Amino acid sequence: MADENVRIDPWSSTQSTDYARIRDQFGLSELPLHRIPEPSMLHRRGIIFAHREFDTILNAIARGEPFGVLTGLMPSGKMHLGHTLVIEQIRWLQSMGADVTITVADLESLATRGTSLDEGRRVALDEYVANYPALGLDPDRTSVYFQSRRPIVQRLGFVLGEKTNRSTMESIYGFDGSTNLAHVQAPLVQAGDILHPQLEEHGGLRPIVVPVGIDQDPHIRFTRDLAASSNWFNINRRKKGGLTIALSIQHGNHTCFGVEANGRVNMQVRRQFFDRLVGRLNHDGWSDMIPNPKHGTVEIPAATEQTGQHLRHSLLKFERELGGLGLLPPASTYHRFAVGLTGDKMSSSNPETTIFLDDEDKAVIKKIRAAFSGGRETVEEHRRYGGDTDKDIAFQYLATFFEPDDKILADIGKSYREGTMLSGELKQHCIDSALEWLRDFRERRDSTEGVAQMMLADDAQ
C-alpha cells in the first residue's frame, strides 16, 4: 500500500529508521563488506548501510585507478557529531586514493533556509571547514568550493534541466505550485555539483562517489537519471545475451548521427558514423558485433556486465570527442541518521540532542548523563533481564563515534545485555570516551590552525 511506503524527503524533519526496508524499497544494495579494504568502523558496524554502484569505486581502488569523492554541506547552525560521519567517510576514501571535492551549498541554504550568501560563507568557513584538517582530511588533496562562486555547477544544472520536467520534480521532491523557484533550482545545482568533477577542467572522466545521509537519496536518483538521459549511447541488456548499444538522439548530436532537420535519417552519414563507431569498438578489442545503422544499434553478444564497464567508459570518451558531456552516473553510499541523545532526531536547533564540536566538557557530561537509556526501571530488573543496546544512546554513541576498538565495544555490549553492567556505568564509559575524543580533536584543531585555508579552491578565496 502506498502509505506504507517510506517517503524520503531531503527537507523534512521526520525520519524512518527501518534500514533494511529503506534499502529494499529504494533499490539500494547492501555494502559488500568482504570487498572493502581496511574497513573503517562505520563500515564494520553497518552504520554505512547501503550504496548505489559502489562497486565501480571498489574496482578503481583495487586497480589503483583514479576516482573522486564529492559531497556537500549546508552552511547553517554549528558543526556537531552527526556532521562528522560524512567527513570520516571522506577521510577513509581519501586514504584509499580519492581526490576530494566538497561543496558549500550556499545557494541551497539561501533557497531553503533563507541564509544569506555572506552568512553562509562565514558559517561554512568558521563552523565547518575549519574543523576538517583536525578531523583528518588532507589539505593538499581536499578542495572546497561555494555553489554561488562556481558558475559551471549552475550552468551544468541548467543544461541538464533540459532532461527533466516539472512532473518529475514534483513526484521526487513533492514540489507544488507554491514552491519557490530557488528551491526548484536547488536540486539541479546539486546535480551540477555532483557531476562537474568529471568535466575535463575538474579532473576528467572517472568514477565519483557521493557519501551522504539517506535523506539525500532523492538527489542521487535524480542526478543519476539526468546523467543517463544526457548520454549519447545507451547500453542495454540484449535479449539473446550480451549487450546492445543504442544511439540516443538528442540536441547536439543530430548532425553527427545523421538525423536531418525533418527527422529523417541520412543513411550515408549514418553508415559513415557507424563505421567510425565499429572501428573504435574494434580497436577496444570487440570483434563479434552486429551493427544495425538503420535502427541505430550495435549488438555485442559476447559483452558481459563486467566487460560492459569498459564499454561504457570507452563510449563516454567517444561521446566527449564528438562534443557531448559524456557523464557517468555517480556512485553513492548511505549512512544511518545519527540518533539524537534524547532519542529524537539529532538537530542543531535542539542542542540537547547532540554534542557540538565546541561543547565544553561540562555540557558533554550533562548531555550524556541525560541521554535516553536502554536500561531497566530498577537495578534489580536490570541485573535480571539486562539492558537493550539497540535502544541505549550511550551505547550507540560509543559504536558510532567514540569507541574504535571492536573488542571493547563487544564486551561492553555483552555485559550490558547480560545485566552485569548498569546504565550509569555504560554512560560513564561513554562520557570518558567522548571527553577523550574531544580532547584529541581540540589538540588537533590547535595544531592545524589556519590550515583549512589551503583547502579553499581558487574560486572560493
Site for ligand TRP in 280-339 (CB under 6 A): none
Pick the closer one to ligand TRP by CB: 10 or 329.
10
Should residue 129 be labelled a site residue for ligand TRP when binding is judged by CB under 6 A? no
Rounded least distance, CB 16 to ligand TRP, Å? 17
Rounded least distance, CB 332 to ligand TRP, Å? 9
Question: What is the rounded distance in angstroms from the CA atom of residue 461 to the CA atom of residue 448?
Answer: 19
Q: How crowded is residue 166: how many other Cβ atoms within 10 Å of its Cβ?
A: 10
Pick the closer one to ligand TRP by CB: 223 or 253.
223
Phi, psi (degrees; rounded to nearest 5) at 94: -65, -40
Tell me the CB-side half-sphere exposure of residue 323, using CA atoms within 13 A.
Answer: 8
HEC per residue, 252-281: CCHHHHCECCCCCECHHHHHHHHHHHHHHH
Rounded least distance, CB 236 to ligand TRP, Å? 28
Q: Which stretch binds ligand TRP (CB under 6 A): 58-66, 88-96, 101-109, 276-284?
A: 101-109
Pick the closer one to ligand TRP by CB: 102 or 412.
102
Should residue 217 be labelled a site residue for ligand TRP when binding is judged by CB under 6 A? no
CA distances from 458 to 19, 119, 121, 150, 434 (A): 40, 20, 15, 10, 36
Question: What is the rounded distance in angstroms from the CA atom of residue 61 to the CA atom of residue 96?
Answer: 7
Should residue 87 be labelled a site residue for ligand TRP when binding is judged by CB under 6 A? no
Phi, psi (degrees; rounded to nearest 5) at 296: 75, 35
Rg (CA), the chain: 25
Contact 71, 90 (CB under 8 A): yes
Instruction: Please tell me what DSSP assigns to residue 73.
Output: E
Q: Name the amino acid, one letter, at 142.
A: T
Pick the closer one to ligand TRP by CB: 10 or 207.
10
Among 8, 36, 71, 98, binds ligand TRP (CB under 6 A): 71
At a CB cut-off of 8 Å and minimum separation 6, what does 437 contact?
401, 402
Distance from the first to the final alpha carbon of the chain: 51
Q: Which stretch binds ligand TRP (CB under 6 A): 65-73, 247-255, 409-417, 442-450?
A: 65-73
Among 108, 127, 359, 403, binds ligand TRP (CB under 6 A): 108
Should residue 74 be labelled a site residue for ligand TRP when binding is judged by CB under 6 A? yes
Pick the closer one to ligand TRP by CB: 209 or 422.
209
Should residue 259 be labelled a site residue for ligand TRP when binding is judged by CB under 6 A? no
Pick the closer one to ligand TRP by CB: 36 or 86.
86
Pick the closer one to ligand TRP by CB: 98 or 243.
98
Pick the closer one to ligand TRP by CB: 73 or 341.
73
Instruction: Please tell me what DSSP assigns to residue 7.
Output: P
Q: Which stretch binds ligand TRP (CB under 6 A): 39-47, 69-77, 154-162, 367-375?
A: 69-77
Question: What is the rounded distance in angstroms from the CA atom of residue 332 to the CA atom of residue 53?
Answer: 7
Match 529523417 to its residue by C-alpha cell. 264
Pick the closer one to ligand TRP by CB: 99 or 193.
193
Q: Which stretch binds ligand TRP (CB under 6 A): 68-76, 131-139, 250-258, 309-317?
A: 68-76
Should residue 72 be labelled a site residue for ligand TRP when binding is judged by CB under 6 A? yes
Strand positions, DSSP E, 122-193: 142-146
Should residue 157 be labelled a site residue for ligand TRP when binding is judged by CB under 6 A? no
Residue 99 β-bridge partners: 68
Rounded least distance, CB 353 to ligand TRP, Å? 17
Phi, psi (degrees; rounded to nearest 5) at 15: -155, 150
Site string for ligand TRP, 181-210 (x = CB under 6 A): ---------x--xx---------------x
Pick the closer one to ligand TRP by CB: 117 or 435.
117
Q: Among 127, 103, 123, 128, which Cα is nearest to 113's?
A: 123
Pick the closer one to ligand TRP by CB: 58 or 105.
105
Question: What is the rounded distance in angstroms from the CA atom of residue 369 to the CA atom of residue 352?
Answer: 11
| Residue number of the CB atom closest to ligand TRP | 72
* Contacts with ligand TRP, residue ranges (CB under 6 A): 10, 70-74, 103, 105, 108, 190, 193-194, 210, 212, 216
